[in-house]
Amino acid sequence: MIEEAERPKTVTGARGTTRARLWVVSLVLGLLACGGEPEPGGRVLLVGIDGASPRIVRPLLEQGRLPNLARIAEQGVSGPLKSLHPLLSPRVWTTVATGKTPKRHGIENWVTPVRDGQQRLYLSSDRKVHALWNIASDAGRSVAMVNWLVTYPPEPIRGVMITDHALPGATEGKKFMRNLFAEAPASDDDASLGEGSGPVTWPDSWIPRVAAAAEAEGALTPIGDPFVTATLPSWVLRDKLSAYYRQDETLARIALDVEAETRPDVMMVLFQGIDRSSHMLWGMVEPAELYPESLHPSAAEREGGLEALRRYYEYSDALIGLLVERFGPDDLIMVVSDHGFEAGVTWKIMTGTHNSPKAEDGVLFARGRRIRHGEAEGVSVTDVTPTILTWLGLPVGQDMDGEPAAFLDARARTVATYETKPIPRLATGPSGAEETYIEQLRELGYVE
């Protein structure tokens, strides 16, 4: 690949004309040597909206209630994004970030068995393959990643990594997490409790800034907490829903801070509030007869819960808009979800699940230079990383399970594999967030 050529200075006469022609010839020959494709310019923003369902997104788009996603669709493409079963977020979001199926990347669930019948959360060190942030960093591109699943402990990259264990307020109660899966409770003086001393960001200088974002006052968007005044069924955990609203706002603050500070070539942000609120409120979307009588809402509760869920989609759209406005028209913007939702009961009060083909489709929006306009068809979660790599002018691994999406007008290059050297790792230790993480999974019915 040729380096950026020095443009000829303004010259006159025959000698100047000859020099200019030679420069043009050399540029054309260089482009031909690269396959006739100049490298795309600009940056990349990849936003994940966990659990965003086409069944909610499509009508809200038609009603004009998701203006930022609508703008991306008008400028580029939109459509369904096919997921992988079982539809568990850690395995799917790791596939999005690697272009490889769980069998290859190694993240199969939320928790994994360890000795003596216990289980623990999957860690980033359980991932067997390079992720997009490793590949881009090794290629000399700057990267920023906020809240992507299974990223604790953080990995040294050329940029900033705010892991999914980084939000504060989760430093106590690790004994609960340990005993939750143990056959018998361990003693209080068990050394495995440890202290919450593991680094949750890279570099660790971002830890106090994450804490400051969580304490910040003032609203980022005009859309207030939709759960505060909504008429909701008695079994809905209103305080938990409001906590998800605040968590997504904190993540947006962190992402905006990181973007302003570093201006990364590749930025990845994951919001989880839609998924978590959908677990509680999806019964407002479905016919009551699909549920036991104890979970039948009144007409007012159904309308209140459904409108609160719709407002949360609007809120997520507004947060996405704050990020998108930091990027130019030639930059690549991709917004994706890992699955949709369907009727089902977990943990006695959760009315939304994602277990069958009914919930297989997530959503996809993309725009930027070389993104064709129209409908995105036949795109899988395995295709996201190959698409971004191709847009960046980087080769796709031949051992990846996905390929560049057809809506990208660029020729893909390939390399046999990126798994030719170890992934840089930080030492593994307790982050202090384990108890809160497990408690949230328990509330949502993912673990017993």
Q: How far apart are CA 50 and CA 148, in angstroms?
A: 10
Q: Checking DSSP bridges between strand 143-146 and strand 266-271, what pairing results, if any? A: parallel
User: What pLDDT is recorded for position 119?
Assistant: 80
pTM above threshold 0.75: yes
**If pLDDT is split at 50, 70 and 90, which confidence band does 175 have?**
very low
**If pLDDT is split at 50, 70 and 90, which confidence band does 174 have?**
very low
Asked, as a colleague might, if the bond just before 54 is cis with ω within 30 of 0, I would say: no
Q: How far apart are CA 91 and CA 110, in angstroms?
A: 8
User: What pLDDT is recorded for position 225?
Assistant: 98
- pLDDT tens, residue by residue, 122-170: 999 999 999 999 999 999 999 999 999 999 999 999 999 999 999 854 3
Asked if residue 358 lies in contact with residue 80, where contact means CB atoms within 8 angstroms, the answer is no
The residue that leads in pLDDT, 165 or 6, is 165
Q: If you compute the radius of gyration of the chain from its CA atoms, what whole number of angstroms results?
A: 23
Alpha-carbon separation of residue 98 from 103, 211, 297, 401 (angstroms): 12, 29, 41, 9
Q: Does the pLDDT value for residue 70 go beyond 90?
A: yes
- pLDDT tens, residue by residue, 362-390: 999 999 999 999 999 999 999 999 999 99
Cα dihedral sign for 221, 324, 365, 360? negative
**If pLDDT is split at 50, 70 and 90, which confidence band does 117 have?**
confident
User: What pLDDT is recorded for position 48?
Assistant: 98
- pLDDT tens, residue by residue, 317-350: 999 999 999 999 999 999 999 999 999 998 889 9
Fill in the DSSP letter of residue 375: E
CB neighbour list of residue 290: distance below 8 Å, 6 or more residues apart? 283, 343
Burial of 188 (0-12, 13-18, 19+ CB in 10 A): exposed
Q: How far apart are CA 204 and CA 424, in angstroms?
A: 16
Q: Which residues pair with 77 in a beta bridge?
A: 366, 374
User: What pLDDT is recorded for position 52?
Assistant: 98
Mean per-residue pLDDT over the chain, rounded: 85
- pLDDT tens, residue by residue, 24-59: 333 333 333 343 344 556 899 999 999 999 999 999
**If pLDDT is split at 50, 70 and 90, which confidence band does 182 have?**
very low
Neighbours of 333 (CB within 10 A): 26
Neighbours of 392 (CB within 10 A): 22
Contacts 24+ apart (CB under 8 A), 385-388: 385/96, 385/97, 385/98, 385/99, 385/131, 385/132, 385/135, 386/99, 386/412, 387/334, 388/44, 388/46, 388/132, 388/266, 388/332, 388/334
- pLDDT tens, residue by residue, 251-275: 999 999 999 999 999 999 999 999 9
404 token code pair = 């560049």
Q: Which residues pair with 78 in a beta bridge?
A: 365, 375
Which whole number is the average pLDDT over 406-415? 96
Q: What is the DSSP string of 428-443?
A: P---S-HHHHHHHHHH
Torsion of CA 110, 115, 117, 119, to 10 degrees: -20
Cα dihedral sign for 337, 135, 204, 327? negative
**If pLDDT is split at 50, 70 and 90, which confidence band does 115 have?**
confident
User: What pLDDT is recorded for position 426?
Assistant: 83
* From 270-274, 276-280, 434-438, the region with the lowest mean pLDDT: 434-438
User: What pLDDT is recorded for position 17?
Assistant: 40
Per-position b or e across 260-298, b if 16+ CB within 10 A of its CB: eeeebbbbbbbbbbbbbbbbbbbbbbbeeeebeeebebe
**If pLDDT is split at 50, 70 and 90, which confidence band does 199 have?**
confident
- CA-nearest of 49, 33, 40, 79 to 251 is 49
Q: How far apart are CA 164 and CA 201, in angstroms?
A: 9
